[in-house]
């Protein structure tokens, strides 16, 4: 089968031919229809993140495909089923795993980052990692796992987001941000979308968003609070980090919740602690999420297909390098997928 391999950091992907891995007991082979791209792919290429990663590695944490082979102990009725794959593995023994929170396990590893992933024509994964989809599920599902797991875990599992809540979402046109926007809207929450330019605001409107849009400027906190007549928002989804942390705290209402899941602009910040206890705020971090989060997100999307991700561009497996270059463009919106079939 064809695979794209990251053989060295700061180097291009290399297209290779490999034997398909054997399917063991409790495992399934998924013929990959499409693989979604994430910034994890760029971090793998870059290296130096501090995470336990080794090369060579096949990137690709988002996998959408068809089960074509089952191992011993796996029901054969999975054969021919379209699925998305939960992109994590853990020890299955610790108290976090027993409680259904594998992403908190110290042995947690991510598909396409710490073990070989979806830039390939097939992958072998535990049968418990696949979530069945309708037989006619479209390619948009390829961009669901990482972004929607993370957004669901942050907004709903930890944040308790509900209908009529007001949530501000930073980077609302990117993969994670737009997943959060779409999940929140499907739940019935009011979304204040924070974007970096008028062009991104126009893209958001063109893709069906009709809520409040705030283009980031010096008065972003005042403008966000103005959408609630000065009360502040119930929740902020912040995956940006140092550049937005203090603004996120200031735009929250009393008893508001900061859902925090990224440090793309840096991990160190100086802050005034008084608003945290003065406004009785809660802060919860999310590192991806659990298999239950993917199952819940899939159930929501099956009922609300309009909330599926927007695929802005797609590339062939052979052209994965160009796909990553497109992903690294800060002007980009929506999601990018590789066509692996």
- Which structural domains are found in the chain, ordered by start? 2-143+310-339 (3.90.180.10), 148-285 (3.40.50.720)
Q: How confident is the model at residue 323 (pLDDT cuts 50, 70, 90)?
A: very high
Tokens of 308: 């599926």
Of the candidates 288, 311, 307, which has an alpha carbon nearest to the alpha carbon of residue 35? 311
pLDDT computed for residue 263 by the predictor: 87
| pLDDT above 80 for 5 | yes
pLDDT computed for residue 265 by the predictor: 86
pLDDT computed for residue 251 by the predictor: 97
To the nearest whole number, what is the mean pLDDT of the chain? 96
Helices (H), the chain: 39-46, 95-98, 145-152, 175-187, 198-206, 220-226, 245-251, 274-278, 291-303, 320-327
pLDDT computed for residue 218 by the predictor: 77
| pLDDT above 90 for 13 | yes
| pLDDT above 80 for 48 | no
What are the two backbone dihedrals, phi and then psi, of residue 29, each rounded to the nearest 5 degrees? -100, 130
pLDDT computed for residue 113 by the predictor: 96
pLDDT computed for residue 52 by the predictor: 82
Burial class (CB in 10 A: 0-12, 13-18, 19+), 155: buried
User: Model confidence over 75-109: pLDDT tens digits?
Assistant: 999 999 999 999 999 999 999 999 999 999 999 99
pLDDT computed for residue 217 by the predictor: 82
| pLDDT above 80 for 229 | yes
| Three-class DSSP labels, 188-201 | CCEEEEEECCHHHH
pLDDT computed for residue 129 by the predictor: 97
Of the candidates 75, 83, 190, which has an alpha carbon nearest to the alpha carbon of residue 134? 83
In this structure, the dihedral spanned by the alpha carbons of residues 287, 291, 292 and 294, taken in order and rounded to 10 degrees, is 80
DSSP 57: B
User: Model confidence over 110-121: pLDDT tens digits?
Assistant: 999 999 999 999
User: Taking residues 319-339, what's their average pLDDT?
Assistant: 96
| pLDDT above 80 for 316 | yes
pLDDT computed for residue 51 by the predictor: 81
User: Taking residues 326-339, what's their average pLDDT?
Assistant: 95
Those residues with Cβ within 8 angstroms of residue 161's Cβ, 6 or more apart along the chain or in another chain = 155, 167, 184, 187, 189, 235
User: Model confidence over 50-79: pLDDT tens digits?
Assistant: 788 899 999 999 999 999 999 999 999 999
């Amino acid at each position: 089968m064809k695979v794209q391999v990251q053989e060295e950091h700061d180097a291009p992907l290399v297209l290779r031919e490999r034997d398909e891995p054997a399917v063991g007991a409790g495992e399934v082979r998924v013929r990959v229809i499409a693989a979604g791209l994430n910034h994890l792919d760029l971090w793998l290429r870059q290296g130096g993140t501090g995470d336990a990663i080794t090369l060579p590695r096949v990137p690709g944490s988002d996998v959408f495909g068809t089960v074509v082979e089952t191992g011993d102990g796996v029901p054969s009725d999975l054969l021919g089923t379209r699925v998305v794959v939960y992109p994590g593995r853990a020890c299955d023994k610790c108290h976090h795993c027993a409680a259904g929170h594998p992403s908190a396990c110290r042995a947690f590893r991510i598909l396409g980052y710490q073990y070989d992933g979806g830039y390939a024509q097939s992958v072998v994964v535990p049968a418990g990692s696949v979530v069945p989809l309708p037989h006619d599920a479209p390619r948009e599902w390829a961009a669901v796992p990482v972004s929607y797991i993370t957004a669901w875990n942050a907004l709903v599992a930890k944040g308790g987001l509900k209908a009529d809540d007001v949530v501000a979402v930073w980077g609302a046109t990117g993969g994670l941000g737009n997943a959060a926007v779409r999940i929140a809207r499907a739940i019935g929450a009011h979304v204040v979308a924070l974007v970096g330019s008028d062009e991104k605001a126009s893209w958001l409107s063109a893709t069906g968003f009709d809520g409040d849009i705030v283009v980031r400027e010096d008065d972003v906190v005042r403008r966000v609070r103005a959408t609630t007549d000065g009360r502040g928002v119930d929740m902020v989804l912040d995956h940006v980090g140092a550049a937005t942390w203090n603004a996120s705290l200031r735009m929250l209402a009393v008893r508001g919740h900061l859902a925090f899941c990224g440090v793309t602009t840096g991990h160190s910040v100086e802050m005034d602690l008084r608003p945290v206890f003065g406004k009785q705020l809660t802060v919860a971090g999310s590192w991806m999420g659990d298999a239950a989060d993917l199952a819940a997100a899939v159930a929501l999307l099956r009922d609300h297909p309009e909330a599926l991700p927007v695929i802005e561009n797609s590339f062939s497996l052979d052209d994965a390098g160009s796909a990553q270059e497109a992903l690294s463009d800060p002007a980009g919106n929506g999601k990018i997928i590789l066509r692996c079939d």
